[in-house]
């Protein structure tokens, strides 16, 4: 266990910058930037924690090739708040205000990859909120998805969509 | 210790974690971090994540026009359509109208699907809206439209401005005898029809009205009219009555359709009698209430109401 290694005997000799230090976990982003975090933060990231557990805490540097150095600080920030029990509606609102659609998307995939349930739940709701009442085109653009329907299926979809608008004014395209 | 050497040491563990994160390539830990931020990550969104997003929308967007987002989700691409279709509950399960197909599926058993009908005498058209009372800003969702072609014949369409049989707005038709005492509802089957996805075999609904204020219809499960039963939603009528101080409840024209399940099936006596349709005039001119239950669909209930117009 990580905690057991850092006994009083050798704690003085362990430098904070030593990547193999048991006191911190080094998360290495896809673009090779090292982020040092407390073991408690790593615990929030199930994927990272199971990685550590697999090696009985001997390995404390974890490569995360799918997460950029741009996104990782957001993930860490959320986990820190989570540990402190300070995930409030206000915090979440502020947190998401800073993020553009691309960042929300990347964090969502990062949360899935790291298996951080709370963050995943939260971002899933953010995405649901962001696509609510948007057009098909908007959703396609937002997710970068290509339309793969056949012309016959398209004709059917147009009828379905036309029906949804009956009695309703088509809503404006989103500003994004 | 260099990152590379740690990486090579961890190869075995990486493989195990990769398996844990099975699914899209983009989520697996790759020991050689080349192009970790490839494009199209979003398109390969793991299905469970997409399901989660759509489920949230299904639960939160329970009224129109907000509910259109679910139809949008089902129009994005094939995989989105199948995920969305899996999540959307039928009207019987959730009491929600989502896709046009819901108009031909049975309503819920325990509570009513509440609709109103707006009549336009000049154009001989009847519009069915999803709402217990007309919304103030006229934003109620239009479900179906009917036009009286002859005294005894109605065409039912998805759009208020298109009653052509050749077009794919066509939903079905209704014929009755001269006195309106017998009627048949025909389910339209046209190609390309937006109804052909998950619909049960075509069902013809026949019925007769032996008395002016009662109906009997035959469905796949035989039903017959028993008697007028209590259960009319007085509360809802009162909402109409608020506008018209002098209106009297007893003056409200109403019909009730009772279902009796025939045969020796294992149904308790309580379950044998179910109101499946309420239809009534309201104090507001040309506005009628239509509440329907299982096993009627919106289309069938609307057709039955038309015979009384």
Both tokens of A127, joined, read 């995405």
- Interface A:B, Cβ pairs < 8 A: 170
Contacting A residues, span 73-92, partner chain B, CB-CB under 8 Å? none
Taking 80 as the threshold, does the pLDDT of residue B215 lie above it?
no
Total residue length of chain A: 176
Q: For the residues A29-40, what does the mean pLDDT come to?
A: 92
Q: Which residue in A has a C-alpha nearest to residue B70's C-alpha?
A: A132
Domain range list for chain A:
2-131, 136-165
- 3 state SS of B59: helix
Q: What average pLDDT does this structure show over B170-199?
A: 66
Residues from chain A that touch B9, judged by Cβ atoms under 8 A, are 59
Structure-block tokens of residue B121: 């005498």
Compute the nearest-CA separation of A104 from chain B (Å): 11
A120 vs B contacts (CB less than 8 Å): 49, 52
Return the residue of B nearest to A47 by Cα.
Answer: B17
Residues 6 or more apart from A97 whose CB is under 8 A from it? Answer: none
Distance from CA of B175 to the nearest CA of A (A): 25
Q: Band of the pLDDT at B138, cuts 50, 70, 90?
A: confident
| Cross-chain Cβ contact A63/B29 below 8 Å | yes
Q: What is the ipTM of this complex?
A: 0.77
Share of chain A above pLDDT 90, in %: 41
CA atoms within 13 A on the CB side of A117: 2
Q: 47-66 in A: which are within 8 Å (CB) of B? A: 47, 50-51, 54-55, 59, 61, 63-66
A18: which chain B residues are within 8 Å (Cβ-Cβ)?
A: none
* Confidence band of B228 (pLDDT split at 50, 70, 90): very low
Judged by CB atoms closer than 8 Å, whether chains meet at B10 and A63 is answered as yes
**Mean of per-residue pLDDT scores for chain B:** 68
Q: Round to whole Å and give the CA distance between B302 and A76.
A: 56
Percent of chain A as helix, strand, coil, to the nearest 5: 55, 5, 40
Which of B24, B26, B52, B145 to probe by mutation at the A interface, max A CB count within 10 Å? B52
Local confidence band at A6 (pLDDT 50, 70, 90 cut-offs): very low
Residues A69-78 pLDDT 10s: 999 999 999 9
Q: Is the dihedral of CA B29, B30, B32, B34 positive or negative?
A: negative
Q: Do A167 and B20 lie within an 8 Å CB cutoff?
A: no
Q: What number does CATH give the domain B113-306?
A: 3.20.90
pLDDT of residue B38: 37
The answer to whether A174 contacts chain B (CB < 8 Å) is no
The residue to which tokens 């016959």 are assigned:
A152
pLDDT band at A27 (very low <50, low <70, confident <90, very high): very high
Give me the residue from B6, B99, B139 closest to A160, CB to CB: B99
For residue A159, give the nearest of B42, B160, B194 by CB distance: B194
| Residue B151 confidence class, pLDDT cut points 50, 70, 90 | confident
- A19 at interface of B, judged by CB pairs closer than 8 A: yes
What average pLDDT does range A86-109 have in this prediction?
90
Q: Which residue has the higher pLDDT, B235 or A130?
A: A130
Domain A2-131 indexed as CATH 3.10.180.10: no
The full set of domain ranges for chain B reads 47-88, 113-306
Per-residue pLDDT tens for B37-55?
A: 333 455 667 888 999 999 9
Burial class (CB within 10 angstroms; exposed 0-12, middle 13-18, buried 19+) of B226: middle
**Mind listing the pLDDT tens digit for each residue in B259-295?**
444 443 444 554 445 567 777 777 788 888 888 888 7
């Amino acid at each position: 266990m990580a905690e057991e290694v850092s006994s009083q005997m050798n704690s003085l000799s362990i430098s904070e910058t030593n990547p193999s230090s048991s006191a911190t976990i080094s998360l290495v982003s896809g673009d090779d930037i090292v982020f040092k975090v407390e073991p408690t933060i790593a615990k929030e990231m199930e994927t990272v924690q199971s990685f550590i557990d697999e090696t009985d805490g001997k390995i404390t540097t974890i490569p995360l090739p799918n997460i950029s150095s741009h996104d990782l600080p957001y993930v860490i920030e959320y986990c820190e708040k989570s540990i402190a029990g300070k995930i409030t509606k206000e915090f979440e609102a502020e947190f998401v205000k800073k993020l553009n659609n691309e960042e929300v998307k990347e964090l969502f995939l990062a949360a899935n990859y790291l298996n951080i349930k709370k963050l995943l739940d939260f971002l899933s709701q953010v995405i649901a909120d962001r696509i609510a009442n948007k057009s098909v085109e908007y959703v396609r653009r937002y997710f970068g998805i290509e339309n793969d329907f056949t012309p016959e299926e398209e004709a059917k979809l147009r009828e379905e969509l036309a029906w949804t608008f009956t009695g309703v004014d088509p809503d404006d395209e989103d500003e994004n | 210790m260099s990152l590379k050497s740690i990486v090579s040491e961890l190869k075995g563990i990486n493989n195990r974690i990769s398996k844990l994160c099975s699914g899209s390539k983009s989520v697996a830990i790759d020991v050689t971090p080349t192009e970790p931020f490839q494009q199209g990550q979003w398109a390969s969104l793991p299905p469970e994540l997409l399901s989660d997003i759509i489920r949230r929308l299904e639960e939160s967007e329970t009224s129109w026009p907000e509910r259109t987002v679910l139809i949008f989700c089902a129009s994005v691409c094939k995989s989105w359509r199948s995920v969305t279709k899996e999540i959307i509950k039928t009207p019987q399960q959730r009491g929600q109208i989502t896709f046009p197909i819901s108009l031909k599926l049975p309503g819920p058993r325990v509570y009513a699907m509440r609709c109103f009908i707006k009549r336009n005498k000049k154009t001989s058209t009847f519009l069915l809206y999803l709402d217990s009372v007309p919304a103030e800003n006229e934003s109620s969702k239009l479900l179906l439209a009917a036009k009286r072609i002859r005294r005894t014949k109605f065409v039912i369409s998805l759009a208020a401005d298109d009653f052509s049989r050749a077009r794919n707005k066509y939903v079905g038709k209704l014929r009755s005898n001269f006195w309106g005492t017998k009627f048949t509802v025909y389910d339209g089957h046209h190609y390309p029809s937006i109804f052909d996805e998950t619909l049960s075999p075509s069902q013809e609904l026949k019925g007769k009205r032996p008395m002016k204020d009662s109906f009997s219809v035959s469905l796949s499960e035989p039903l017959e009219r028993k008697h007028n039963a209590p259960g009319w939603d007085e509360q809802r009528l009162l909402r109409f009555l608020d506008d018209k101080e002098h209106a009297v409840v007893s003056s409200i024209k109403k019909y009730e359709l009772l279902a009796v399940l025939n045969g020796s099936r294992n149904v308790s006596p309580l379950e044998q009698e179910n109101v499946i349709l309420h239809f009534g005039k309201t104090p507001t001119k040309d506005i009628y209430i239509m509440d329907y239950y299982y096993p009627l669909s919106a289309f069938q209930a609307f057709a039955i109401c038309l015979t009384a117009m």
